Structure 1
Amino acid sequence: MLRIISYNIRGITTCKKQQQLKIWLNQNPHDIVMLQETYKTKFFHLENFKNSFLDYNIRGALGTWVAGGVLIMIKKKFNMIDYGSDTNDRIVYIKIECNHVPIVLVNVYAPAQITERCSFFKELFLYIPSTKWIIIGGDFNCTPNNQQDRNKLGAQTDNLSYRILLQEVINPLLLTEIFRRKQPRKIIYSYHASAGNYHSRIDLVFGSDIIYKNTHDIGYVPVGISDHDALVLSIKIPPLTDKNMHRRWICNPNVIKRKSFLEKFHRVWNIIINTADLNTIEWWNDFKTSLIMIIQQEEKELNRETRRELDGLSKEYRFRATNPSNDDLAQLEIIRQKLHDALTEKLVNSIPSQDDRDFKCLSNLAKVRLAHGKANQSRIAYLTHPSKGRVETDNGMMEICCNFYQDLYNVKPIDTSYWSALFGDITTLNQNDIDLLDRDITTDECHEALKAMQLGRVPGDDGLTIELWRFIFPIIGSHFIKMVNTARDKGHFHDGFLNGLLTLLKKESEFNGTMKNFRPLSLMNIDYKIITKVLSTRLKKVMNKIIHYNQTSGIPGRTIHDNIHLIRTIIDYHSRNRIPLGITMWDQEKAFDRVNHLYLFEVLRQFGFGNNFINMIKLLYTNSTFTIKFNNLLSKKLFFNSGIRQGCSLSGYLYVMCLEPLLNLIRKNPKIPGVLVPGSQYRSLVNTILQNDETNIEIKTLAYADDVCTFVFNTNDEFETYELFKKYSYASGGKTNDTKTVIFWISDCLDPPSFNAKIEREKCTFLGIPMDTHGQLPQEEIDKMVNNIKKKIELWSSIRLSLCERASILKCFIISTLVYWLSSMLINKNVIESIQKICNSFFWGRIHPFIKFQTCVGRKEDGGFGLIHLESMIISYRIKCGLTITNTTPKIWKLFALPYVGLHLYKYSPWLWTNLIPHLHDDRQFFSDVAIHTAKWLKRVGNVINNGNDKSIYWKFIHLNIYQPPVCYERINHLKNIQFYKLTHHSKLPSNIIEFWTSLANYGINTHDRLGKTLEEKKCLFCSLPETLSHIFITCSFFNEIYKLLFEYIKNKFNVSIPRSEYDIIYLKIVSSTTSRIFQKQITYSIGNYLYAIWSYRCFINNSNNRNQKDHPDKCQDRFMIYMKKFPFDNG
């Protein structure tokens, strides 16, 4: 049990108080003590205090005689990993290890003054290292609820401070106020002011969800040393005693940028080249071990340098802050900014997946929120053991996981006598394809494979990232190929090369603690993925020759939408014509994981693959192992003796080939019925679309990877199909899940036969899209989707986000599921409008909209925010589908689409028109909607070429029909010629400055933040003239000096003069005077910093209680110089 005490001691500089504290601590069991308001102003005060408490490791931040000063006392039995403090001596944090679990403790003393307190809370999250076990405690000088947590309101009482604390720290880190959540109705106070009889609960402790769940007890205890009570909590930390369980390490990509790393790497590599036997495979393991050791050493040194830098800056700040001169005051702002930058860099390095495209658009606060959200979702609180019941210890749950997956990946028994029937009539490769696949792997292919891998992906169990491999592969590439060829000749890789990391993802269904509630995700090492990427790239070129068009997963030219169009078409047609039909959704239990390896190799032989390719696949499956990652802990290695290994680009192709013999049997079996694609009765259509004379287009099965459906009319059809699935199971090791196999019966007039499978008559879910008996989205599913969007928006609304971030979050994290539905299904226009209103409301938050919606939906480089426009997105998907119809790519669903599109599109593709088919129109039909929008598009654009990029169609449609340029583009024509917003978008400007530019361009800041309505209220803060954009940024004499700084900088660096006349600076007419794109970007960046420095200073003065600060323009100049320190082009 970990016992923590948080206490505002109100000064502990005297020996008497220290003795009182020591006596009280001796009487109250504890492990950690967090003290606030220590009033220690000198380092020797802190050293004397440490000498009085020798049983503790003590880290603190000095304060003043009137406020500040915090420290944390930790019993020496705990290992301290990291620590730090802020420059204002109000925060100290420590990262410790308890029972091998890393725990972060943050001690906080918030300012008493409201404005300072709000600013303090906005920076607090920078001092919190990333981990799942987070505890933030201290005196926050504000209450969660002024009605419940105060007996009466005081002079410094406000409703804003705690709200900012929630938005900036608590909600992004997914923390909770532990005491109030444990005791929601209890009235108790922790601060007691005798003067005025004020009582409040301002001493708080926040913790992550796992801290809350493991908190055994929490309460306030009177101490008597100060006017505060101590907050005491006890936390149960589950012990980790299994030696096979250890924490995971991942390479820090910033290490490869260090010169010392490159020197050490070359030194080690030369030793390997000169001493190792490169004709073996063992040297590769030695090399990777040495590489990991180098990186870990560099990471430790990097952490030390960061800590030394922070300590040095903190000491310099404290030194200059004592009796400061004017020069010291100017330097303090610069030091504070350097500290902020160092802390931000440390924070960013601690967040995984920094190069993930979903992360790039977000601020650090939003990244923290997303990272902590993902970490909490992966946390597993308990599992259910078949005999022991509920298990909550990590050791016990790990045992359940290991037993389950070792049993799953054990060899599945098969009957090879079924192989002859299964492989009777399948397509084989030609000799050219065999030769292509059998070639030796080359260095160039490996280079291309690495380039094709997306940065930011989580690595395998060795922790080595794609960024690292891209950096070192030009040096080691040829030797890597030699190692692979040696392993092929020997028939196996070295121990550990084929080890995968198995992470468990909770399924969306309700969690009941069983292992079947998880979807395993396999993470493979990058050196393994290089090989599989090369093989899959080759395999991709031949897959469409051996796999029937009914299987669409991963095959070039085929998409998941082909299956959705077909199944929706079949349901719609049979429902309209009242033809009874059953669609069987076959569920194969752990389909990828149960494939026997002998069956896999035999499939490859039957398809005609050459010996070299088959041997490479065998090489990747020989002696392969996996390690389970559970609650951020790792198990021992387990053997992977069965299943298609996932976690690489090769796995999908291998499984599709394994399943193809079954699908081929179903297609060839005369006893299994099929359905004719509506439209296939017209011979001319079939010949035109499929480019052959096959007149009976009968579909018996549709598949997307392991999602297989077939058609039934009676019980005999079901029996015949089930028998083929049994043959496949006997031959491959697979297993059909009878309880989850469902038949969707389509008929209002006829009851279904007595099928063995479960029967659904209202709706079914096909490839993630729910459909009713008319092939439409059920209304209840639409309502669920809207409610889900509202919940996600509510979650993201709890933190501070810029407009750019809100637009990106809407697109990437909130309506992604909706977009998939919109691409293939019709949704009522009223629903779309209501969802758009929800999105717009989230985008603006509490801000009154000050930019036109038609401008906001434009691209960022055009002066917009990229706000999603759902109606245009739907139309772009319809146009993409229509362009697919107008091209000559064989798609059997086109047979049904043509009657609905022929009348509209025959002018653009005459072959669509034929008098032999009826020409239909129905507003409720998907393809009618496709035809209408595609015809309008082609009439206006005149382009029938489908480039397959629906995003380009979307942006082009937005630009032609919706987008309105910013106000500045309408009034200042030369800005269009220099593509001004494209420059700002690509100039590496901070997001706040880009947003400022966008607001400025639409006169948004001028109308949004006015001083008032009367002439007196509209006066400039710094002179007697009226405040306008041109005045504050150009003609106001108060900012003469900062303008001179800008003028001299641009004159000296670019040899360009800026005339100080109205509009020339604001609208960057100067940018068009140079043809160099680099200079244009640099000038844009410089003037952006100039404008933003003035505006942020103006807002600071406007919101400040002490407006006398406006007499010091040098503070605004300091802001400008600090922004210019970040100039991204100075280093070339």
Structure 2
Amino acid sequence: MLRIISYNIRGITTCKKQQQLKIWLNQNPHDIVMLQETYKTKFFHLENFKNSFLDYNIRGALGTWVAGGVLIMIKKKFNMIDYGSDTNDRIVYIKIECNHVPIVLVNVYAPAQITERCSFFKELFLYIPSTKWIIIGGDFNCTPNNQQDRNKLGAQTDNLSYRILLQEVINPLLLTEIFRRKQPRKIMYAYHASAGNYHSRIDLVFGSDIIYKNTHDIGYVPVGISDHDALVLSIKIPPLTDKNMHRRWICNPNVIKRKSFLEKFHRVWNIIINTADLNTIEWWNDFKTSLIMIIQQEEKELNRETRRELDGLSKEYRFRATNPSNDDLAQLEIIRQKLHDALTEKLVNSIPSQDDRDFKCLSNLAKVRLAHGKANQSRIAYLTHPSKGRVETDNGMMEICCNFYQDLYNVKPIDTSYWSALFGDITTLNQNDIDLLDRDITTDECHEALKAMQLGRVPGDDGLTIELWRFIFPIIGSHFIKMVNTARDKGHFHDGFLNGLLTLLKKESEFNGTMKNFRPLSLMNIDYKIITKVLSTRLKKVMNKIIHYNQTSGIPGRTIHDNIHLIRTIIDYHSRNRIPLGITMWDQEKAFDRVNHLYLFEVLRQFGFGNNFINMIKLLYTNSTFTIKFNNLLSKKLFFNSGIRQGCSLSGYLYVMCLEPLLNLIRKNPKIPGVLVPGSQYRSLVNTILQNDETNIEIKTLAYADDVCTFVFNTNDEFETYELFKKYSYASGGKTNDTKTVIFWISDCLDPPSFNAKIEREKCTFLGIPMDTHGQLPQEEIDKMVNNIKKKIELWSSIRLSLCERASILKCFIISTLVYWLSSMLINKNVIESIQKICNSFFWGRIHPFIKFQTCVGRKEDGGFGLIHLESMILSYRIKCGLTITNTTPKIWKLFALPYVGLHLYKYSPWLWTNLIPHLHDDRQFFSDVAIHTAKWLKRVGNVINNGNDKSIYWKFIHLNIYQPPVCYERINHLKNIQFYKLIHHSKLPSNIIEFWTSLANYGINTHDRLGKTLEEKKCLFCSLPETLSHIFITCSFFNEIYKLLFEYIKNKFNVSIPRSEYDIIYLKIVSSTTSRIFQKQITYSIGNYLYAIWSYRCFINNSNNRNQKDHPDKCQDRFMIYMKKFPFDNG
């Protein structure tokens, strides 16, 4: 049990108070003590204190003023991993290891003054290292609920501070206030001020969800040393006793930028080249071991340098803050900014998947929120054991995982006598394709494979990232190819090369504690993925030649929407014509994981693959192993003797080929019925649309990877299909899950036969989209989706986000599933409008809209924010579908669409009109909607775009129909010529400055002249003139010196004189003085920092209680110079 105390001691520099604390701790032993207001301002104060408590490791923040100082005392039995503090004696953090679990402890003493407190909370998250076990305690000088946690309001009482603390720290890190969550109704006070009889609960402890769940006891205890009570809590840290369980390491990409790393790497590589036997495969393992050791050494040195830098800046800050001169005061702001930058870089490096495309649009705060959210979702709280019941310890759950997956990946028994029936009459490759696939892997192919891999992906068990491999591959590439060829000749790689890191992804179904609720994903090492990427790139070129068009997963030219269009139209067709039909959705238990490797290799032979390619696949599956990653712990290595790895680019293609013989059997079996495609009886029509001579086409099966649908009319049809699935299971090791196989019966006039499978009659879900018996979205599912969107918005609304971030979060994380639904389904326009209102409300938050909606939906470089316009997004998908219909790409669903599109689209594609079939118009039919909007689009655009994609169509549609230029474009003529907003967004300015400038250019900045009612209220803070935009940024004499700095900088660097005018500075007319695009971006960057320095200083003075600082214009110049030190164009 870990016992922690957080206590505001109100000074502990005297021997008497130290002795009192020592006596109390002897009577009440604690492992960790967090003290606030220590009053320690000198190093000897801290050293004397350490000598009084020799059984503790002590880290503290020395105060620069008499009433500050915080420290943490930790029993010496715990290992300290990291520590640090701020410059203002208010924060100290330590990362320790307890029972091999890393725990972060942050001790906080917040300012008493409201404005300072709010600013303090906005920077607090930078001091919190990343881990799942986080405890933040201290004196926050504000209460969660002023009615419940105070007996009466005081002078510095406010509602804003705690709200900012929630937005900036607690909600992004997914923390909870432990005492109140444990005791929701209990009234207790921690601070007792006898003067005025004030009592409040300002001493708080926040923890992550896992801390809360493991908190055994928490409460306030009187100590008697100060006017505060101590907050005491006991936390149970589960021990990790299994020696095979350990934490994984991931390479820090910043290491490769260090000169010392490059020198060490070349030294080690030269030793490998000169001493290793490069005709073997063992040298590769030695090389990777050496590489990892170099990187880990560099990471340690990098961490030490960062810590030394922070300590040095903190010491310099304290030294200058003591009796400061004017020069010291000027330097303090610069030191604070350096500290902020160093902490931000440290924070960014700790965020996993930093280069993930979903992360790039977000600020550090939003990235932290997303990273912690993903970490919490991946954590497993309990598992159910068949005999032991509910298991909650990590060791016990790891044992369940290992037993389950070792059993799952054991060799599945198969009966090879079924192979001859299964493999009869399947398509084979021609000789050209065989030669393409069989050739040796080249260095250029590996280079291209690395370039195609997305940065930011989590690496395999060796921890080496894509960034690192891109950096070193030009040096080692030819030797890597030689190692692969040697392994191919020997028939195996070295130990560990084929080891995968198995991560468990929770399925969307309700979690019941069983292992079947998870989908295993193998994270493979990058050197393995290079090989599989090369092979999959080759395989991609031939897949459509051997895989029938009813399988759409991963095949070029086929998409998941092909299946959705078919299923929807089949349901609609049979419902309209009152033809009874059952659609069977077959569930194959652990489909990828049960494929026998012998069956996989035989499938490749039957398709006609050459020996070289088959041997490469065998090489990738021979003696392969896996390690389970569970709650951030790793198991021992287990053998991967069965199944296809999910997680590499090759796996999808291999599984599709393994399934194809079954689908081929179903298609060729005359006893299994299919759906007759309307119009397919006409050879000329089929030849035009499908470019073949088939007639009377029947659709017997549809597949997207392992999601397989077939059709039944009676029990004989079900039995016959089931028998084929049994044959496939015997031949491959697969298993049909009878309890999850569902038949969706479509008929309102005839009851279904007595099928063995479960029968659904109201609705069913196909490829993630719910449909009713008319092929429409059920209203209750739409309502669920809207409620889910509201919940997500509520979650994201709890943290501070910029407008650009809100627009990006809407697209990426809130309505992406809805857009997927609506891309292929009809929905009432009123629902779209209501969801758009919800999105708009989230976008603006508490801000009153100051830019037109029609402008916000435009591109950022056109003055918008990229705010999603749902109706246009849906229509762009309709148009994309319509353009697909008008082109010559063979799609079988076009035969279903033809009766509804001919009337509207025959002018643009005459072959769509034929007298062989009826031509209909029905507003409730999806393809009618497609045809109407596509015809309108083509009429306006004027030509058919055969290869248009939905994204380009969406932006073109927005530009033609919705987008309105910003107000400033209408008023100021030169802005379009210089591409004003494109310049701002491409100038590498920070996102907060870009958003500020966007608001400024659109007259969205509230000055005193705009808000004030009297002449006095309209006055500038720095002079007696009215505070207009033009005045504050251009003509105010208070900012003369900062303008001189800007003028001299631009004049000296670019030989351009910048006039002091609104058009030249705010609206960048000055950039037309140079034709160099680089110079234009650099000038824009400089002016942006100039504008933001003035506005941020003005807001600081406006919100400050001490407005005497407005007599120091040099403070504003310091801000400008600090911003300009981040100038990103040093290489020109």
**Coarse TM-score class (shorter-chain normalised):** over 0.9
Shift of 1:1007: 7.0
2-side partners of 1:898 and 1:276: how far apart? 67
2-side partners of 1:26 and 1:64: how far apart? 31
For the Cα contact (< 8 Å) 2:680–2:695, is it kept in 1? yes
2-side partners of 1:155 and 1:73: how far apart? 33
- CA shift in 2, pair 1:346/1:745, >3 Å: same
- SS of equivalent residue, structure 1 residue 504: strand
Greater mean alpha carbon deviation, residues 682-691 or residues 375-384: 682-691
2-side partners of 1:517 and 1:4: how far apart? 37
The C-alpha deviation readout for 1:723-755, integer Å capped at 9, x for no partner, is 000000000000000000000000000000000
Shift of 1:774: 0.2
1-side partners of 2:1104 and 2:74: how far apart? 40
1-side partners of 2:1078 and 2:241: how far apart? 58
1-side partners of 2:1020 and 2:115: how far apart? 23
For the Cα contact (< 8 Å) 2:36–2:69, is it kept in 1? yes
Shift of 1:1019: 2.2
1-side partners of 2:713 and 2:1085: how far apart? 69
1-side partners of 2:682 and 2:969: how far apart? 54
The C-alpha deviation readout for 1:872-913, integer Å capped at 9, x for no partner, is 000100110011011101001001112211111111111212
Greater mean alpha carbon deviation, residues 622-631 or residues 942-951: 942-951
Shift of 1:915: 2.4
The C-alpha deviation readout for 1:1067-1088, integer Å capped at 9, x for no partner, is 1101111111100100011001
- SS of equivalent residue, structure 1 residue 461: coil
The C-alpha deviation readout for 1:308-350, integer Å capped at 9, x for no partner, is 0000000000000011111111100000000000000000000
* 1:668-687 superposed matches below 5 A: 668-687=668-687
1-side partners of 2:899 and 2:979: how far apart? 45
2-side partners of 1:599 and 1:853: how far apart? 58
Shift of 1:999: 0.6
Shift of 1:1113: 1.3
- SS of equivalent residue, structure 2 residue 1006: helix
- SS of equivalent residue, structure 1 residue 522: strand
1-side partners of 2:656 and 2:951: how far apart? 29
1-side partners of 2:645 and 2:365: how far apart? 37
The C-alpha deviation readout for 1:815-862, integer Å capped at 9, x for no partner, is 110111111001110110011000000000011001100111111111
2-side partners of 1:1110 and 1:973: how far apart? 36
Partner of 1:756: 756
The answer as to 2:1016 corresponding to 1:1024 is no
- SS of equivalent residue, structure 1 residue 1004: coil
1-side partners of 2:321 and 2:1025: how far apart? 37
For the Cα contact (< 8 Å) 1:409–1:594, is it kept in 2? yes
Shift of 1:1008: 10
The C-alpha deviation readout for 1:468-495, integer Å capped at 9, x for no partner, is 0000000000000000000000000000
For the Cα contact (< 8 Å) 1:37–1:68, is it kept in 2? yes
The C-alpha deviation readout for 1:145-186, integer Å capped at 9, x for no partner, is 111111111111111111111110000000000011001111
* 1:130-169 superposed matches below 5 A: 130-169=130-169
For the Cα contact (< 8 Å) 1:855–1:966, is it kept in 2? yes
Shift of 1:307: 0.2
Partner of 2:57: 57
For the Cα contact (< 8 Å) 1:741–1:757, is it kept in 2? yes
Structure 2, unpaired ranges of 5+: none
1-side partners of 2:295 and 2:942: how far apart? 56
- CA shift in 2, pair 1:631/1:728, >3 Å: same
2-side partners of 1:1065 and 1:739: how far apart? 70
Shift of 1:914: 1.7
Shift of 1:510: 1.4
Shift of 1:1108: 2.5
Shift of 1:981: 1.0
- SS of equivalent residue, structure 1 residue 413: coil
For the Cα contact (< 8 Å) 1:573–1:678, is it kept in 2? no
2-side partners of 1:1008 and 1:416: how far apart? 84
Partner of 2:190: 190
Shift of 1:979: 1.1
The C-alpha deviation readout for 1:162-221, integer Å capped at 9, x for no partner, is 111111000000000001100111111111111111111111100000000000001111
Partner of 2:514: 514
- SS of equivalent residue, structure 1 residue 390: strand
Partner of 1:347: 347
- CA shift in 2, pair 1:65/1:614, >3 Å: closer
Shift of 1:936: 1.0
* 1:2-401 superposed matches below 5 A: 2-64=2-64, 66-401=66-401
Shift of 1:948: 4.2
- SS of equivalent residue, structure 1 residue 1020: coil
Shift of 1:1016: 3.2
TM-score by structure 1 length? 0.99
The C-alpha deviation readout for 1:1055-1108, integer Å capped at 9, x for no partner, is 000112342211110111111110010001100111111111122222222222
Structure 1, unpaired ranges of 5+: none
For the Cα contact (< 8 Å) 2:823–2:874, is it kept in 1? yes
Identity of aligned residues (%): 100
Shift of 1:86: 0.1
Partner of 1:1046: 1046
The C-alpha deviation readout for 1:46-93, integer Å capped at 9, x for no partner, is 001101111110000112564210000000000000000000010000
The C-alpha deviation readout for 1:269-316, integer Å capped at 9, x for no partner, is 000000000000000000000000000000000000000000000000
2-side partners of 1:526 and 1:95: how far apart? 31
For the Cα contact (< 8 Å) 1:682–1:917, is it kept in 2? no
CA RMSD of aligned residues (A): 1.0
- SS of equivalent residue, structure 2 residue 77: coil
Partner of 1:524: 524
Partner of 1:480: 480
2-side partners of 1:589 and 1:1008: how far apart? 67
Greater mean alpha carbon deviation, residues 260-269 or residues 515-524: 515-524
For the Cα contact (< 8 Å) 2:502–2:523, is it kept in 1? yes
For the Cα contact (< 8 Å) 2:1009–2:1028, is it kept in 1? no
1-side partners of 2:344 and 2:930: how far apart? 48
- SS of equivalent residue, structure 2 residue 218: strand
For the Cα contact (< 8 Å) 2:1008–2:1017, is it kept in 1? no
1-side partners of 2:113 and 2:137: how far apart? 19
For the Cα contact (< 8 Å) 2:488–2:616, is it kept in 1? yes
For the Cα contact (< 8 Å) 2:536–2:650, is it kept in 1? yes
For the Cα contact (< 8 Å) 1:575–1:746, is it kept in 2? yes
- CA shift in 2, pair 1:16/1:164, >3 Å: same
2-side partners of 1:1047 and 1:267: how far apart? 49
For the Cα contact (< 8 Å) 1:1030–1:1063, is it kept in 2? no
For the Cα contact (< 8 Å) 1:1006–1:1028, is it kept in 2? no
For the Cα contact (< 8 Å) 1:807–1:866, is it kept in 2? yes
Greater mean alpha carbon deviation, residues 527-536 or residues 1106-1115: 1106-1115
2-side partners of 1:756 and 1:1018: how far apart? 80
- CA shift in 2, pair 1:1077/1:338, >3 Å: same
Shift of 1:692: 2.1
Shift of 1:684: 3.0
Shift of 1:123: 0.4
For the Cα contact (< 8 Å) 1:337–1:1122, is it kept in 2? yes
1-side partners of 2:1016 and 2:39: how far apart? 46
For the Cα contact (< 8 Å) 1:39–1:64, is it kept in 2? no
- CA shift in 2, pair 1:649/1:676, >3 Å: same
For the Cα contact (< 8 Å) 1:38–1:70, is it kept in 2? yes
1-side partners of 2:762 and 2:602: how far apart? 42
Greater mean alpha carbon deviation, residues 683-692 or residues 79-88: 683-692
Greater mean alpha carbon deviation, residues 66-75 or residues 611-620: 66-75
2-side partners of 1:861 and 1:204: how far apart? 45
For the Cα contact (< 8 Å) 2:597–2:641, is it kept in 1? yes
2-side partners of 1:1031 and 1:967: how far apart? 20
Shift of 1:1009: 9.2
The C-alpha deviation readout for 1:791-811, integer Å capped at 9, x for no partner, is 000000000011111111101
For the Cα contact (< 8 Å) 1:1000–1:1006, is it kept in 2? no
Shift of 1:973: 2.0
- SS of equivalent residue, structure 1 residue 184: coil
- SS of equivalent residue, structure 2 residue 1017: coil
Shift of 1:452: 0.4
The C-alpha deviation readout for 1:481-530, integer Å capped at 9, x for no partner, is 00000000000000000000001111121111111111111100000000
For the Cα contact (< 8 Å) 1:600–1:658, is it kept in 2? yes
- CA shift in 2, pair 1:131/1:1010, >3 Å: farther
For the Cα contact (< 8 Å) 2:99–2:238, is it kept in 1? yes
For the Cα contact (< 8 Å) 1:899–1:919, is it kept in 2? yes
